[in-house]
Amino acid sequence: MRSVLCGLFASAALLLASMMVRADLLTATVAYQQEQFDKARQEFMQLARLGNVDALYNLGVMNLHGQGQDKDYAKAFAWFSIAADFGLSEAGSAASLVYQQLPEQTQLTELKQQLDNEFGYLSYQHNLQPVFMPHSEQQDLLAPQRSHFLEPVYPEEAYKKGLEGWVWVEFDIDPSGAVKDLEIIDGYPPREFERSIYNAVSRWRYQPLLKEGQPQPYHSRSLLYHFSTHKGRRYRESFSRQSNAYQQRISELIERAEQGDALVQYYISNWLMTEQSNAAMLLRRHYQQDYAAGEVLLEAAKNGYALAQYRLGSSLLRGQLAESDRHKGLNWVLQAAQSGLAVAQYRLAREILDSKDVQQEWQKAARWLAQAAEQGHFRAIRDLAELNLQQGLLNDVEPLLQQGLALDDQHPQLLFIQARLLTLQGQGKAAKGIGEQALKQAENREWYRQDIQNWLTQTGN
């Protein structure tokens, strides 16, 4: 028991030590305190667009005192009023005080309406605000059903040390139900559990999704898997007696989250998404509300953390954590994509290509795929090569194939793209050989191969 508890203590310490990256609200606040007002204002403006009430209030303060700009009481009133619309009582009081000092009040309503269009509560409510729901009501009605499951193996050394953690993965499911092109998006502790997840999930199978009787692929299946040393009542009792030894560390994390550290908020949300982990047991002494995991994730997203924005957006698209809302989900994914997060750029492109309610704009999708591909995102490289081939942009296919095959030189889909490209270039014999190689690799991986077989049959004729 002692080694397990010490391991969790070390885990909490490691988390604190790793929180040295940029967290936007804290960065803006520090810049403000150091009188770097231009930097602070830029940060606050970005966060205000996400519905961050602290940023809205601080913009009012900066206009009121002329920090980094001329004093502007009218704008200060407008920012305070918008923050008050979000429910911040002190903002309402500040707006009233500023209002009384203004000699002319005729243009105030017009100025507030102008800012409301971009930063107001109704805009936030319509475009970004999720509606959270209990875990029992969360469901993805379009999700494929798993038909074969292999439990990830708890790494022996991590278990001995009592280390707990989680891994966030995404993968595609091919028309046969096979998992393909699994991607590790994030994990804690870094690299501790990733191999175990990869080995297990790669062997899962799903029931094929059918559309008009034909099997269909499923893109970007998302999974947050927790590893926990939790062992039942006796373990819980011992854990409860000794938890004070590192409750202080957990309290430090909570304090940093409440100060606006987006990365800490994101980590806490991920811990709260399980009932079993020791970290979650400690955190729930503070986060007792029904939708704590979603609410803390939302705060991280509003504080500008791209992974939180993407996780929230993808959850809204699938009806996980919150009620399904495609419009809001795409807006959060877009925020993450604009921040440069490759997996969000890829997801946005796929949503454009796969969507039923948005006109397919392959050029827009191609631009997002290209941005992700430039960062080495494999699925983006794969899909952009396929898209360019379909659109007849043959000169753009070859460099993508080289980039993708350098990462996986036996990838069936890339080989199949190469075979079709060679055919269009008049190299039929070489094309058939590559096509047969693609079929063999698909068989070895137990992936869907009917499309390759059909092509080889047509090519043979």
Measured distance CA(437)–CA(444) in Å, rounded: 11
Percent of the chain with pLDDT over 90: 63
200-210: pLDDT as tens digits: 999 999 998 88
**Predicted local confidence at residue 402, as pLDDT:** 97
Decide if pLDDT at 233 tops 80: no
336-353: pLDDT as tens digits: 999 999 999 999 999 999
Q: Interior CA angle at 62 toward 57 and 63, to 5°?
A: 100
Q: Within a 13 Å sphere around the CA of 7, how many CA atoms are in the beta-carbon half? A: 20
**Predicted local confidence at residue 239, as pLDDT:** 60
Judge whether 132 and 295 are in contact, CB under 8 Å: yes
**Predicted local confidence at residue 138, as pLDDT:** 55
> What is the arithmetic mean of pLDDT over 362-366?
92
Q: What is the mean pLDDT of the chain?
A: 87
Percent of the chain with pLDDT over 70: 87
310-337: pLDDT as tens digits: 999 999 998 888 888 999 999 999 999 9
Distances in Å between the alpha carbon of 313 and those of 50, 59, 168, 454?
A: 13, 27, 15, 37
> What is the arithmetic mean of pLDDT over 86-94?
92
Joined tokens for residue 404: 């993708």
Four-residue CA torsion sign, 276, 278, 281, 287 = negative
**Predicted local confidence at residue 100, as pLDDT:** 84
Which amino acid appears at position 208 of this protein? P
**Predicted local confidence at residue 221, as pLDDT:** 93
Burial of 35 by CB count in 10 Å (0-12 exposed, 13-18 middle, 19+ buried)?
Answer: exposed
pLDDT confidence of 357, banded at 50, 70, 90?
Answer: low
**Can you spell out the DSSP letters for 378-447?**
HHHHHHHHHHHHHTT-HHHHHHHHHHHHHH-TT-HHHHHHHHHHHHHTT-HHHHHHHHHHHHHHHHHHT-
Please tell me the pTM assigned to this model. Answer: 0.88
pLDDT confidence of 183, banded at 50, 70, 90?
Answer: very high
User: What CATH number does the domain located at 145-339 have?
Assistant: 3.30.2420.10
Give CATH 3.30.2420.10 domain extents, the chain: 145-339
pLDDT confidence of 242, banded at 50, 70, 90?
Answer: low
| pLDDT-wise least confident of 13-17, 188-192, 359-363 | 13-17
Judge whether 432 and 459 are in contact, CB under 8 Å: yes
| pLDDT-wise least confident of 101-105, 175-179, 400-404 | 101-105
**Predicted local confidence at residue 214, as pLDDT:** 87
More confident residue, 142 or 45: 45
> What is the arithmetic mean of pLDDT over 275-302?
87
410-447: pLDDT as tens digits: 999 999 999 999 999 999 999 999 999 999 999 999 99
> What is the arithmetic mean of pLDDT over 284-300?
91
**Closest-CA residue to 322 (of 353, 349, 290):** 290
pLDDT confidence of 41, banded at 50, 70, 90?
Answer: very high
Decide if pLDDT at 157 tops 70: yes
